[in-house]
Amino acid sequence: MSIPVLRVQHLVKRFGEFVAVNDISFDIRPGEILGLLGPNGAGKTTTIQMLLGVVTPTAGSIQMFGLDLAVHREEILQRVNFSSTYVAMPQALTVEENLWVIARLYGLSQTQERVDDIVKRLEMEEFRHKVTRKLSSGQSTRLGLAKAFLTEPKILFLDEPTASLDPDIAQKIRSFLKEERRSSGLSVLYSSHNMHEMEEMSDRIIFLQRGKIVAEGTAQEIVARFGQADLEEVFVKLAREK
């Protein structure tokens, strides 16, 4: 079995008395897409924020590429990126300006070629010179994805990446992700409320509830274990459990 690119061990996050993440451990292997499921408030976003180094864990460790995030933050984040429907890019800049800033922030070479390439691959040519505040929500989501893929990360955190996209574009994004994973060995932590998408995309799934992992395995394994018809029913069952 290959060495994990991401290893989370006994991760805990408390905000005062409230325990947002309660002793979770999981791995992601190279080229693997790990689905992160859970109802609102389960701790998914806090987990991703800790993995991105913007929230400090109360306890536990996060290792990526065999390095400790607490010690090698800069080195790790150079090879990691994220896209979230809920985190927009600066609205006053054009799409292309935003991508240029990101390229410089990560010290990328051949910037123009890379920007042109990602704009083309995500079909953003028609709005590349548009100011971000004038984009539709689907176009904004594609900009977020372009920002994430521009830096050619080895690990990608995606928080509901297709939430505001029409089915056609959403399908294209999923195909794009699969192609990236196949060609570059990209590893992905994928959070979504679309169960069909989760089943289609994820090699494995972890289900978070009230900060704890309550189920882990492939979609089929989880469905079988809970004796439900599909993942959506498992989600509803677990989300309603006290």
CB of 157 to other proteins, least distance (A): 9
Exposed e or buried b per residue across 177-196, where buried means at least 16 C-beta atoms within 10 angstroms of its C-beta: beebbeeeebbbbbbbeebe
Question: Counting contacts by CB under 8 A, is residue 59 touching other proteins?
Answer: no
Question: Counting contacts by CB under 8 A, is residue 55 touching other proteins?
Answer: yes
Query: Helix or strand or coil: residue 206?
Result: strand
Question: Counting contacts by CB under 8 A, is residue 46 touching other proteins?
Answer: yes
Residue type, 195: M
Residue 33 β-bridge partners: 188
Pick between residue 103 and residue 231 the one whose CB is nearest to other proteins. Answer: 103
Residue of 201, 198, 139, 130 whose CA lies nearest to 166: 139
Q: Binder to other proteins among 3, 10, 41, 54 (CB under 8 A)?
A: 54
Question: Counting contacts by CB under 8 A, is residue 175 touching other proteins?
Answer: no
Question: Counting contacts by CB under 8 A, is residue 176 touching other proteins?
Answer: no
Q: Binder to other proteins among 28, 47, 49, 181 (CB under 8 A)?
A: 49
Question: Counting contacts by CB under 8 A, is residue 70 touching other proteins?
Answer: no
Contact positions with other proteins (CB under 8 A) in 79-108? 81-82, 84, 87-93, 97, 100-107
Q: How far apart are CA 139 and CA 238, in angstroms?
A: 33
Residue whose structure tokens are 């809970």? 226
For residues 211 and 20, the answer to whether their CB atoms sit within 8 Å is yes
Q: How far are the Cα atoms of 8, 9, 45, 52, 84 from residue 49, in angstroms, in the given order?
A: 13, 16, 6, 5, 11
CB of 52 to other proteins, least distance (A): 4
Question: Counting contacts by CB under 8 A, is residue 18 touching other proteins?
Answer: no
Binding stretches for other proteins (CB under 8 A): 13, 15, 46, 49, 52-56, 73-75, 77-78, 81-82, 84, 87-93, 97, 100-107, 147
